[in-house]
Amino acid sequence: MSWIRQLFSRRRLYSDLSEEIHEHLAEKIEELVVSGMPREEAAHAARREFGNATLIEERGREVWQWPSIESFVADIRYALRMLWKNPDFTLVAVLTLAFGIGANTGIFTILNGAALRPLPLPNSDQLVSIYQSFRGHVRRNVYGNPNLFSYSEYQDYREHNHVFSGLIAYQPDVQATLGGDHPQQVSGTLVSCNYFPVFGVQPALGRGFLNSECSKPGANPVVVLSDTLWRSAFAANPSIVGTTIALNRSPFTVIGIAPPGVGGSEIVPSAFWAPITMQTAVERGNEMLNDDNLSWLVLIGRMKAGVSLARVRAELEVIAGRLDQDHPGRKTTLAIQTTTFFGGPQEHTLALGVGAAILGAVGLVLLIACANIASLLLARAAGRRHEIAVRLAIGANRARLVRQLLTESFLIAALGGALGSLLAFWSAEAGVQLLLAHLPRGAPPLVFSVSPDARVLIFALLLTLVTGIAFGLMPALEASRPDVNAALKEGDASYQGTLVTGGRLRRVLVGVQVAVCMVLLIAAGLLMRGLYRAQTIDFGFDTKDVAIASFDLIRQGYSQPRAAAFQQQLMDRLTALSGVDSVAEAATTPLSDSHFGTGVSIPGREGWQPAEYNIVSPNYFSLLGIPVVRGRGFLKSDSLMTNGGLSF
Amino acid sequence: MKKPDRRDLFPGALEMMVLRTLRRQPMHGYALVQHIKRTSDDLLQIEEGSLYPALQRLLKEGLVKAEWGISSTNRRVRTYQLTPAGIKHLNREVSNFERMLDGVTRVLAGGEA
């Protein structure tokens, strides 16, 4: 264990070395004096022959050290002392950085929680989402999102792959009215019966689905409730298991309650889960299971141990290629990635796009902070010029000095980064709460975790390092320029010269700050203006004093004639109310988030033009103040499907 | 300020010369450097100080050991002495060096032909 002995006897080793060098010089001088040289001249000559004694002694000592670590510790000690001696500077720099780094880390934390972090499910790194997109000759029905799968496609992928221990399919965000004394609208999920086992979730009460419950369409009206719904609608009563509840007026038997905190794999937590084969019972009027050309199911697989994403891709692409053979001219591309919230290609692009824009903005804020501290450091470097010149003069090399100055910068950055990250983690949580509380009414209750994970910590650390270099490097190089002579003889002309160049760098920094500030100000101004415009823009229709009520009678089990009768009666009675001027019907409201699309063929033009459409009652246009520019609007006699009229 | 052209020794050369010199007889630093300078007829430009980091390295590797004593001129000196490991190391280094030198010389001679 000689290195331990070295560690303890190091002081001795150093003093030996020091004495030895001293003796060497003494002996040399003695010899020169004996040979007839004046003593003073001999001392000079001896030193010249010997070289830089300070540096050599340091080199000699370094032999015994783990040089990088030990001089690093020394640098940190020295840097701490310097920061402690300048509390104002330290405070300003650390707070500025805390703000800059904190803003970035905070935004990244939210982005990470929303779009990057794997799902809060057991071994969620094995879960992969599969999305498809088509090229070529495609006619496809879409319910929700064009990247989803049909039921028969799901069955194909499930039966023919060897890479998943299980592949699930589900329809997200299925709206249902939960019956009872106080009916309420809830958002649930229709799932393949392997849903819970593949996700690794065991119901807290009762049981999950049996595979046989997904074998026959419409045969197994069973449902698993979320813990949240169980508590809010059924007072956490355990005897609810085994009883029957109504979803969109269809009876379902409760077979289990999911564990607390489990809301599925979507950003909108699911209130209930029912077998996918019960689709028509929940969504009456829609037959989706048998439509082989309908995009409506999300696919998530759990990879077998030891299977790579590349292998999953390769194997599923073979299946996709086989499916394409039934659709001449169609080419399917699969997007396969670790499952996250906002996992679909469209959502992902949106979340990352928005996130990148905001990160860009806060990145500029950090850039301003860096420029600010860099100019402070430059100003301080002018004050430390003498100190640095002395150290250069007694033999410190420049790289060592730059490293020491950089250590100071890193220390400032680390303090700022730590403080900023703490602020960020705290404010991300608070910020998300605030954001969720201010979502428009009727928006779904989003939940995502914004607690920091390894990814966030690495981001904060890297950001801190980069920041330290960004504001520290230039001032350090500038401060350690080896014009020792000039700096020692203050007042020398060339010393003035260096002050001027330092001043130029500082002026550049100020310029950068002003420029970046302008960019940010203009961007913020435009955003504000855009927001104002969005609030005050003329939509082309009149929303003043207009109230909207929406309902879906077909989904509630009304037949078409009964629904029409109900609607007519409702309209008549509403119109009779005092204070109601006019009542109109429409399949969707303008600028709402739901719309219908179809293809229109125009005589004389090739192919189909995509067009959105709405189904409305005759007085729709007059109620919203939409002028009919040519021709006429609908008449009462046009309705009842006897006449196809279109209005643009 | 540009440094005058000076051919550096290759890494390990100084150590090898120190070990070789010490094999003749134990010496202290000053005597060592004077001896090397003298024997090389001042062909090698050695900064006297550069000897000391080299000696520290050899000490650390256990190739030499050092002891304080009094010299013939009544000076306090730290005398270095080769260890058995140092002798082995020196033999290995010298034979490596000779092989290398031989190779380089042959190539240089071949270049003339």
pLDDT tens digits, one per residue of A444-479:
566 666 777 888 889 988 999 898 888 888 888 888
Residue B4 pLDDT: 40
Tell me the pLDDT tens digit for each residue of A476-494. 888 877 665 666 665 544 4
A22 to chain B, any CB pair closer than 8 A? The answer is: no
Tell if the CB–CB gap between A53 and B49 is shorter than 8 Å: yes
Q: Note the pLDDT of residue A483.
A: 66
Paired residues of A129 in beta bridges: A300, A337
pLDDT at A197 exceeding the cut of 70 = yes
Q: Interface of chain B against chain A, CB under 8 Å? A: 29-30, 47-50, 52-53, 55-57, 59-60, 62, 66, 68, 75-78
CB contact under 8 A, A23 and B60: no
Q: Which of A13, A51, A57 sits opposite B48 (nearest CB)?
A: A51
Supply the pLDDT for residue A68. 65
A231-259 pLDDT, tens per residue?
Answer: 989 999 999 999 999 998 899 999 999 99
Alpha-carbon gap, residue A25 to A53, rounded angstroms: 10
Question: How far apart are the C-alpha atoms of A202 and A221, rounded to whole Å?
Answer: 20
Contact call for A50 and B47, based on CB within 8 A = yes
Question: Is A513 within 8 Å of A372 (Cβ atoms)?
Answer: yes
What chain B residue is nearest to A7 in terms of C-alpha separation? Answer: B60
CB A224 within 8 A of CB A258: yes
The distance of Cα A492 from the centroid of its chain, to the nearest Å, equals: 56
Testing the interface with A: which of B28, B35, B52, B57 to mutate, by most A Cβ within 10 A?
Answer: B52
Rama region for B78: left / alpha / beta (φ>0; ψ in -120 to 50; rest): beta
Residues A638-646, mean pLDDT to the nearest whole number: 46
Number of Cβ pairs closer than 8 Å across A and B?
60
Per residue in A565-580, pLDDT (tens digit) is 888 898 889 888 888 8
Q: Are A56 and B77 within 8 A, CB to CB?
A: no
Interface check for A56 against chain B (CB to CB < 8 A): the answer is: yes
Q: What is the 3-state secondary structure (H, E, C) of A215-268?
A: CCCCCCCEEEECHHHHHHHHCCCHHHCCCEEEECCEEEEEEEECCCCCCCCCCC
* Interface mutation vs chain B, best among A14, A19, A20, most B CBs within 10 Å: A20
Q: Check residue A395 and give left, alpha or beta (phi > 0: left; psi -120 to 50: alpha).
A: left
Name which of A423-427, A496-500, A510-514, A573-577 the model is least confident about.
Answer: A496-500
- For the segment A23-33, the average pLDDT, to the nearest whole number, is 88
Q: What is the DSSP string of A25-45?
A: HHHHHHHHHHTT--HHHHHHH
* Interface contact A431, partner B, CB < 8 A: no
Give the lowest-confidence range in A1-5, A241-245, A264-268: A1-5
Give the strand pairing for A244-247 and A250-257: antiparallel
Q: What is the pLDDT of residue A318?
A: 93
More confident residue, B112 or B38: B38
Mutate to test the interface with B, among A7, A9, A16, A23 (most CBs of B within 10 A): A23
Mean predicted lDDT score pLDDT of chain A: 84
Q: Do residues A209 and A241 lie in contact, with contact meaning Cβ atoms separated by under 8 Å? A: no
Whether the CA torsion B4, B9, B11, B12 is positive or negative: it is negative
Residue of A nearest to B32 (CA): A24
> What mean pLDDT is predicted for residues A76-88?
88
Q: Is the pTM of this model over 0.90?
A: no
| Selected residue with higher pLDDT from A320 and A619 | A320
What proportion of chain A, given as a percentage, has pLDDT over 90? Answer: 26
Q: Which DSSP string corresponds to B44-85?
A: S---GGGHHHHHHHHHHHTSEEEEEEE-TTS-EEEEEEE-HH
Residue B52 has its nearest CB partner, among A2, A17, A27, at A17
How much is the pLDDT for A6? 58
pLDDT band at A501 (very low <50, low <70, confident <90, very high): low
Burial class of residue A192 in the structure, from the number of CB atoms within 10 Å of its CB (0-12 exposed, 13-18 middle, 19+ buried): buried
- Which of B29, B49, B60 shows the shortest C-beta gap to A51? B49
Query: pLDDT digits over A117-170, tens only?
Result: 778 788 888 999 999 988 887 778 888 788 899 999 999 999 999 999 999 999
Interchain proximity B78–A16, CB inside 8 Å: yes
